[in-house]
Structure 1
Amino acid sequence: MTVLPTLVDPAAPAHLARRAALLDKLAALDAEHAKALAGGGEKYVTRHHGRGKLLARERVELLLDRDTPFLELSPLAGWGSDWTVGASLVTGIGTVSGVECVVTANDPTVRGGASNPWTLRKALRANEIARANRLPVISLVESGGADLPSQKEIFIPGGALFRDLTRLSAEGIPTVAVVFGNSTAGGAYIPGMSDHVIMVKDHAKVFLGGPPLVKMATGEESDDESLGGADMHARTSGLADHLALDEPDALRLARRVVARLNHRKAHPAPEPAAPPRHDPGELLGLVPEDLREPFDPREVVARLVDDSDYDEFKPLYGTSLTTGWARLHGYPIGILANARGVLFSEESQKAAQFIQLANQRDIPLLFLHHTTGFMVGKEYEQGGIVKHGSMMINAVANSRVPHLSVLIGASYGAGHYGMCGRAFDPRFLFAWPSAKSAVMGPQQLAGVLSLVARASAAAKGRPYDEDADASLRAMVEQQVEAESLPVFLSGRLYDDGIIDPRDTRTVLGLCLSAVHTAEVRGNRGGFGVFRM
């Protein structure tokens, strides 16, 4: 065995200071998550309960197998926007009747569960995860459809929701809709395009146009029940496959439907694995407040992988990037982790070779981000940093094994791409509260703009305003700092959630279990042209 040692002293002042800083960030994050949990607020929660209805997360809890985890996705969607944090939708991965499923649940306490632009993006991301990993989709529906004032941002791209449902079904990935209340207008196509449909008696209402719209369009007088009630759809239209007596009964029926799906994972469950030998709690004190400071990512790896057992690949070459093989919750994994921030030519070539090896062996890859990007300067340009960095990005882009990414520190510039950022379709991407991501660091970006402005003034023969320059730099630094924080990026769904570092192993284990529902098979040679 090649067990990673540790040099971490949890009692050291620097470690304690880092730990305290990260705990403060976690406390602030908890406050933002509380906004999503609060939904539309106490008034609307009380009203919803008063109607004998369950909240979105209460429905999810009753649906899932007892004492099994729920990996919630994008809980901060819409943060920093004019919309409620969480985007009036709960999405995640959980186990139902022994089957891992993607679950989505409208939150009817937020504007009646109406969909806004962030709801759409969040739902599309959930469908993307379901399709890539061949996970059944269970939609817990109660929504008045699109939030009409924002229809211009929803209507045209929103058709992708219905496209996804039909494609999932065509690919043999089951879809189940459980309708608890309104599912109107475009929302009617959620049950209409699902494989299995359950409706709650006296509460579910599914129609393309409600009574007011029907009267406006045709002059016909009608009521909710005869137009689109659950009983009518179960007895007359045939849209409902099952008529539930109440919400718990609907969730019971959903569990029975999933139990009969005969949906199997492509890979058997792994053998039980030994936990890391080093305390995961010490992950809180590893990342410096100043992300320009290096730290050894092997200390992170040692607290994530089974038995802290890690076989490093090319340990003496390209030492700003560690690559190696391990197991995590019994699953084989290849790891790429930045050591000193900057990626040089050697690291880029090493990464490209390692990614090819993982594809030859059908082994998923884990990227642990702490990079300021690829090295710049005359010596490095002449040494081929562009072609070598492109080689790494080429390998990442054309790799076919599942990729998991965790932003633990800096993730700047093209280094974010080379380490499989969101644009390169990792199966899952999470961030620690300590992470930051942007085109470059705030000081560097402000400095570049200042140099460009100085050069422009000199070229025009004009004096340079130093006071205005200082004000501009301060403003730019503040803006870039705010826009590089994980809560800002998570609000825009550039990650799948911000996680407590101590939960990283558990989160990655759930992700690895999910990706092994589909076949894990690498690219056997179609990587395009590598510039050597």
Structure 2
Amino acid sequence: MPILQSEIAVGSEVFETNKAALLAQLEEVRAIQQSAVDRSYKAKPKYDKKGKILPHERVRLLLDADSPFVELCGLVGYKMHDDKDGSEAGGGIIAGIGFVNGTRCMIAANNSAIKGGTIAPMGVHKSLRLHQIALEQKLPIITLAESGGANLNYAAEVFTAGGTTFANQARLSAKGIPQISVVHGNATAGGAYQPGLSDYVITVRKQTEMLLAGPPLLLAATGEVATAEELGGAEMHAQVAGTAEYLAENDADGIRIAREIFAHLNWKEQVKLETPEYKEPRYSAEELLGIIPADPKQPLDMKEIIARIVDDSDFFEFKNEYDSHTVCGWSKVGGLHLGIITNNGPITPQGAAKAAQFIQLCEQTRRPILFLHNTTGFMVGTDAEQNGIIKHGSKLIQAVANCTVPKISIIAHGSYGAGNYAMCGRPLGPQFIFSWPNSRVAVMGGAQAGKVLRIVAEAKQRESGMEPNEQVLDFLEQSTAMKLEAQSTALFNTAMLHDDGIIDPRDTRKLLIFLLQTINEAQQRELNPTRFGVPRF
């Protein structure tokens, strides 16, 4: 049994320096997350006065008590569009995977406590990502709906992608994935189609307003005078139009009915999953904080990370005598088999060939692959070019793109250039991708980019017969470096939806167990598709 032996000096000065730096980065992320929650809770008096429940509390009420919940894309849109201080991060949607009446499902709740739950462009892209995950993992979707629809300041950016969310809903239903919506309040115009395209709709008496045109627009367009209750009230939809299957008395009752639907969904009963026995790692997850260098330019041995996340710290390395920069091997996490690919340096021609072969071996026996990112990219230089780095690197990217086994990416340190693609970054379609708060993702390092542009600019000046202007070149180099550094941080990348969220490194193992169980359940489940989805006649 190949047990990894740690060489980390826990408690040393270097260890404590690294730990302090990572804890500071974690604190920054948590402060932003808390600011978004605090912003929502400022609306609690207004909600209490109306007898309504805040969106965050709706989610808690929906979830099974003491069950795990993995939030997805929680900081998307951070400091983008109208979000000036980060308190509107999340795209106007609280979302994640959790358990409702024992059923693993996708949960999405409009955060109506902030700007009425209106959706900015990144919120729409978040919805598309949630749909993709639900489809791949065969997860029922429950939406706690209350939204003013698109943020009209960005209507042009929302319109086309918003239509894609409707197409997705129709296709999810046709694939055999149930969708349940509780309409807690306003659902106007395009927002009305979200529950309308669901398979089960629950409206809330005296709260739901689900309509294509409100009274002012109706009066302006047709001259007709009607109340919101007549046009789109809960009772009308349940008793007259037939849009709603259930009529709830209040928010809590609507959530109760949704849980009751899950109790009769016959979903979890279709798959019988065994929980394998497993041993915990031989090293504490707390030690992960002191392993990642405070200086992102400093190298680290990724086997130290592996030793703290896999069962019994057991790692069966593949071709360990052939190219030490690319590390491949097999382990178990939570008793479930997987292959692991990570980096202890740039990807060489030999490392690319090794990883591509390893991926095919995982494909042969249906083992999921975990990519632990720590790469400066592909090796450059005369030797690398003559040894076929383009050829071998391309074949590695082909293997990553075309393999059919589930892929999970954790960006633990740097992930630069085409190395990000080779390690199954977002463009290569991992089933899940999460980042540590210290991580960096960019086409190249900021300092490197600054020097490249300086060299190019200086060459152009000389070609034009000009004497290089050192002041101008200094400014170009420094401003380029600063820009790329700012755009490579974990916060920048998660805001842009380049990952599914930033996690505490100490939670990596728990998260991986949850994700592998989710994937394993999806692999065991057979859907019952129809041609057009469930209709309402």
TM-score range, shorter chain: over 0.9
Report the alpha carbon displacement of residue 41 of structure 1 after superposing the two structures with TM. Answer: 6.2
Is structure 2 residue 287 aligned with structure 1 residue 288? no
Q: Which moved more, 1:485-494 or 1:453-462?
A: 453-462
What TM-score does the superposition give when structure 2 sets the normalisation length? Answer: 0.95
Aligned pairs (5 A) from 1:46-445 = 46-81=45-80, 82-83=82-83, 84-264=88-268, 268-340=273-345, 342-445=346-449
Mapped partners of 1:269, 1:465: distance in 2:
69
Mapped partners of 1:168, 1:39: distance in 2:
33
* 3-state SS, counterpart of residue 294 of structure 1: coil
Unaligned ranges ≥5, structure 2: 526-537
Equivalent residue number for residue 7 of structure 1: 7
Deviations 1:142-200 (A, max 9, x none): 01111122111111221011111111111111111111001110111111111111111
Equivalent residue number for residue 27 of structure 2: 27
Report the alpha carbon displacement of residue 266 of structure 1 after superposing the two structures with TM. Answer: 5.7
Mapped partners of 2:175, 2:500: distance in 1:
24
AA matched with 1:343: I
Q: Is the 8 A contact 1:40 1:111 kept in 2?
A: no
AA matched with 1:34: Q
Equivalent residue number for residue 532 of structure 2: none
Q: Is the 8 A contact 1:266 1:516 kept in 2?
A: no
Q: Is the 8 A contact 1:363 1:520 kept in 2?
A: no
Is structure 2 residue 456 aligned with structure 1 residue 452? yes
AA matched with 2:168: D
Is structure 2 residue 501 aligned with structure 1 residue 497? yes
Unaligned ranges ≥5, structure 1: 522-532
Report the alpha carbon displacement of residue 517 of structure 1 after superposing the two structures with TM. Answer: 2.7
Q: Which moved more, 1:200-209 or 1:417-426?
A: 200-209
Q: Which moved more, 1:135-144 or 1:3-12?
A: 3-12
AA matched with 1:25: Q
Q: Matched residue pairs, number?
A: 519
Q: Which moved more, 1:140-149 or 1:255-264?
A: 255-264
AA matched with 1:353: Q
Equivalent residue number for residue 528 of structure 1: none
* 3-state SS, counterpart of residue 104 of structure 1: strand
Q: Is the 8 A contact 1:362 1:520 kept in 2?
A: no
Mapped partners of 1:280, 1:315: distance in 2:
25
Mapped partners of 1:157, 1:464: distance in 2:
47
AA matched with 2:278: A
Deviations 1:240-290 (A, max 9, x none): 111111111111111111121112466724313221110000000111122
* 3-state SS, counterpart of residue 368 of structure 1: strand
Seen in structure 2, the aligned counterparts of structure 1 residues 267 and 304 have a Cα distance that, compared at 3 Å, is farther
Report the alpha carbon displacement of residue 50 of structure 1 after superposing the two structures with TM. Answer: 2.4
* 3-state SS, counterpart of residue 376 of structure 2: strand
Q: Is the 8 A contact 1:267 1:518 kept in 2?
A: no
* 3-state SS, counterpart of residue 36 of structure 1: helix
Equivalent residue number for residue 518 of structure 2: 514
Equivalent residue number for residue 529 of structure 1: none
Deviations 1:54-112 (A, max 9, x none): 11111111111110011111111111213321221111000111111110000111111
What TM-score does the superposition give when structure 1 sets the normalisation length? Answer: 0.95
Q: CA-atom RMSD, angstroms?
A: 1.4
Q: Is the 8 A contact 2:17 2:294 kept in 1?
A: no
Mapped partners of 1:39, 1:514: distance in 2:
32
Seen in structure 2, the aligned counterparts of structure 1 residues 498 and 329 have a Cα distance that, compared at 3 Å, is same
